Amino acid sequence: MPVSDAFHIYDTTLRDGAQQEGLNLSVHDKLAIARHLDDLGVGFIEGGWPGANPKDTEFFARAKKELVLKNATFVAFGATRRPNVKAADDVLLGALRDSGAPAVTLVAKAFDRHVDLALKTSLDENLEMIRDSVSHLIAEGQRVFLDAEHFFDGYRSNRAYALEVVRVAAEAGADVIALCDTNGGMLPDELSQVVHDVLTASSARLGIHCHNDTGCAVANSMAAVAAGATHVQGTLNGYGERTGNADLVTIIANLELKKHQLVLPKDSLREAFRISHAVAEVTNVSSSARQPYVGVSAFAHKAGLHASAIKVDPSLYQHEDPASVGNDMRMLVSDMAGRASIELKSQELGVDLGGDKELIGRIVDRVKEMESRGFTFEAADASFELLVHEEMIGKRPSFFTIDHWLTTVERSEDQSILTKAEVKVTAMGKQISCSGSGNGPVNAFDNALRTGLKALYPELEVLELTDYKVRILEGRLGTGAVTRVLVETSDGKGEWNTVGVHENVIAASAMALEDAVTFGLMRQGRKPE
């Protein structure tokens, strides 16, 4: 059961969130996400519409057997009965009844125009459909919520009828009537006035369901709560149709950290970052780096002025402690970097510069000079750490030297593409010639380099190139365009990023790969030559 029935956090990621363009959830995905949502501690998880499509019907059947929820109540979603049919005889209501879900959310029309054009029935019959459906499911032992669809548009069109929808649903026994900003067109000041008016004119318990078409879904949800709503619907990470639904993670953090209203089990909010990103992995939709509270950039600092202040007190440029949502503060190294940025970033990477002003000054100057040539260290921590070590000891950490390389790409008569690389390296006083093939010049180069070095450094067996990005930078100061390459490498226990810049994309890639292998060997405990 939820933390307290006095206030509901209601998640609809598995139903409304799944309507996002490009987001396709299997039954297995939905079960995995439901477990994450339960770990976060939401009060209600809306699983989908059983009976309306085979996938949701299968999901509810498997959820009954496979899901044991610690915090959440499972909810089935569906519509009120069809016009001129008894609730007991309605097939889709029967599917809700048989779903095994202890709670059901029924969607009902609250906009008179929709009743006329979409349902093609009378306003009185729509009210009877609501009354009959709610009372029938309650009699069958299920808890019932009602989503008043297009409520705010309906309120503008015919206030009396929209209020009648709320009254009838409440009188029939619906626990909560959620007012839906289905088209997402409301603004916070207008919405809060409507919620206040409905609460004044009715004894119903109200909820809120907002879409983000004006960019105000979270603000509208917060305004509704301030006006008296005690049930908030949304999706994790703001997934949803068009511009998405209200982001539940942001709403929960705002309520707990800004309004000091506990809406999850104690300390559950500290799991928000982990769960937000775990769900993003399941959905295969990349998280926004700028997502409030849990984005990787939410507590990232770039300007030197900010870093100087943060060194004195992190709260000077942070509205909350990142740990409150399980996130971390990050320092970004760039041409904006000052001494404080470099010192804090080095500490973050585990390198103590000892307050050496001359050393820190050299690193600052070096970073700014390299960034002027196209390098970026914001997303290449490993290359930055190697640069810091170089300035500290007077030479670059090195296990090998690349003496010569050659890549070839050949298309044969059967149209197949063959890519090869030959690399000569010197390591431990020996010159090694090695070759490799791959699905492109960079992959071939990487394979050749590591194949040649593995005899001397068997640790390289676990290294794997996991991501590769290329960006063409426009000409600087009259020179031609240059290429920036970012490489992500993994040893199975963690990832690191390196950067290379050159007019030639293969040369830039070779630079980034050399850093990647060097840093990988340091991670494995090897001491540079």
- Give the pLDDT score at 345: 65
In 350-429, DSSP assigns E strands to 401-411, 417-427
pTM above 0.75, yes or no: no
In the block, tokens 């070590």 appear at 389
Cβ(71)–Cβ(41) below 8 Å: yes
- Widest CA span in the chain: 91
Structure tokens given for 78: 């569906």
- Give the pLDDT score at 2: 46
- Give the pLDDT score at 1: 43
Cβ(173)–Cβ(139) below 8 Å: no
- Give the pLDDT score at 296: 73
Cβ(50)–Cβ(99) below 8 Å: yes
Q: Residue 431: what residue type?
A: Q
- Give the pLDDT score at 313: 57
Structural domains of the chain in order of their starting residue, each with its CATH number: 8-283 (3.20.20.70), 300-371 (no CATH), 401-523 (3.30.160.270)
For each successive 10 residues of the chain (529 residues), what is the average pLDDT?
Answer: 78 94 90 92 94 90 90 94 92 92 95 88 93 96 96 96 97 97 96 97 96 97 98 96 96 96 91 86 82 81 53 64 78 54 67 77 79 75 85 85 92 89 92 90 90 90 86 62 86 88 90 92 84
Task: Enumerate residues 6+ apart whose C-beta is below 8 A from 491.
Answer: 462, 463, 464, 520, 523, 524
Structure tokens given for 156: 């503008």
| 215: β partners | none
In 365-463, DSSP assigns E strands to 401-411, 417-427, 430-438
* Residue among 1, 67, 71 at smallest CA distance from 31: 67
Rounded to the nearest 5°, which phi and psi values hold at 25? -105, 130
79: helix, strand or coil: strand
Rounded CA separation 179/176 (Å): 9
The secondary structure element, H or E, covering residue 208 is: strand 206-210
| The 430-438 sheet, strands edge to edge | 401-411, 417-427, 430-438
48: helix, strand or coil: coil
- Give the pLDDT score at 18: 92
